[in-house]
Structure 1
Amino acid sequence: MKKLLSGVLGYGVGSIFILMIVFAGVLALLLRFTGMEYETLNQMALVAGISILAIGGMLAAYKGEQKGWLSGGMTGLIFVSAMILFQVVFENSWVSLPQLSYFGGLVLAAWLGGMIGVNLPRKTVKR
């Protein structure tokens, strides 16, 4: 259980936050220095968000080494809960129905990433 939690909290959620910050910076630079339209930016952000959560779920399950569906699902739920909390606290607004479907997609991506990550080959040390 300790490995599962350290995989989820340490590697899964941590990598998601880091990758989201990096990609937000890249999108900000693209928006500032190119003629990219807002709709294209929204589509890129959607694809990036889903991909990043799948990677986070994959890392969590790979490091947890067991129950990939649980590792990925917990990673997705923790991240989405943090997003909802930030929205409620800082924007003072509740979650809308389209946002719920987006959040559901993010949790599903992390869940599937967890199922893939637990089955990735591991390095073995020969003695």
Structure 2
Amino acid sequence: MKKMMQGVLGYGVGSIFAGMLLFAAILALLLRFTSMEYETLNQLALVAGISILAIGGILSAYKTEQKGWLSGGLTGFIFVTMMILFQIIFENKWISLPQLSYFGGLLAAAWLGGMIGVNLPKKSGKR
């Protein structure tokens, strides 16, 4: 259980936060220095969010080496729960139906990423 929580919190959620911060900086630079439309940036953010959560699920399951669906699902659930709590606490707004479907897509991406990550070949220590 300790190895799973270390993989989920340390590698999964940690890599998601790092990826989101990096991509937010890239989007801010694109918004500042290009004439890109808002809708294009919105679609780019959607694709990036789903991809980043899938990568987080892959990393968490790869590090835990067991129950990829569970480690990926926990990674997505923890991240989405933190996003919802952030919105409720700091913006004082409940989630809407379109947001709920977006969060469901994020959960599914992390869940599927976990199933992929647990099946990736492991580094062998023996030579």
TM-score over 0.5 for the pair: yes
- Structure 2 residue 2 is the aligned partner of structure 1 residue 2: yes
Structure 2 CA distance for aligned equivalents of residues 99 and 107 of structure 1: 12
User: What's 2:59 paired with?
Assistant: 59
User: What's 1:39 paired with?
Assistant: 39
User: What's 2:108 paired with?
Assistant: 108
- Helix, strand or coil for the counterpart of 1:119? coil
User: What's 1:15 paired with?
Assistant: 15
- Structure 2 residues not aligned, in runs of 5+: none
What is the aligned length? 127
Structure 1 CA distance for aligned equivalents of residues 10 and 32 of structure 2: 33
- Structure 2 residue 63 is the aligned partner of structure 1 residue 50: no
User: What's 1:78 paired with?
Assistant: 78
**Aligned runs of 1:108-127 on 2, under 5 Å?**
108-126=108-126
- Structure 1 residues not aligned, in runs of 5+: none
Share of identical aligned residues, percent? 79
Task: Report how far residue 111 of structure 1 moved.
Answer: 0.1
User: What's 1:69 paired with?
Assistant: 69
- Helix, strand or coil for the counterpart of 1:32? helix
- Helix, strand or coil for the counterpart of 1:94? coil
What do the CA deviations read for 1:5-61 (whole angstroms, capped 9, x no partner)?
A: 100000000000010000000000000000000000000000000000000000000
What TM-score, normalized to structure 2? 0.99
What TM-score, normalized to structure 1? 0.99
- Helix, strand or coil for the counterpart of 2:123? coil
**RMSD over equivalenced CA pairs, Å:** 0.6
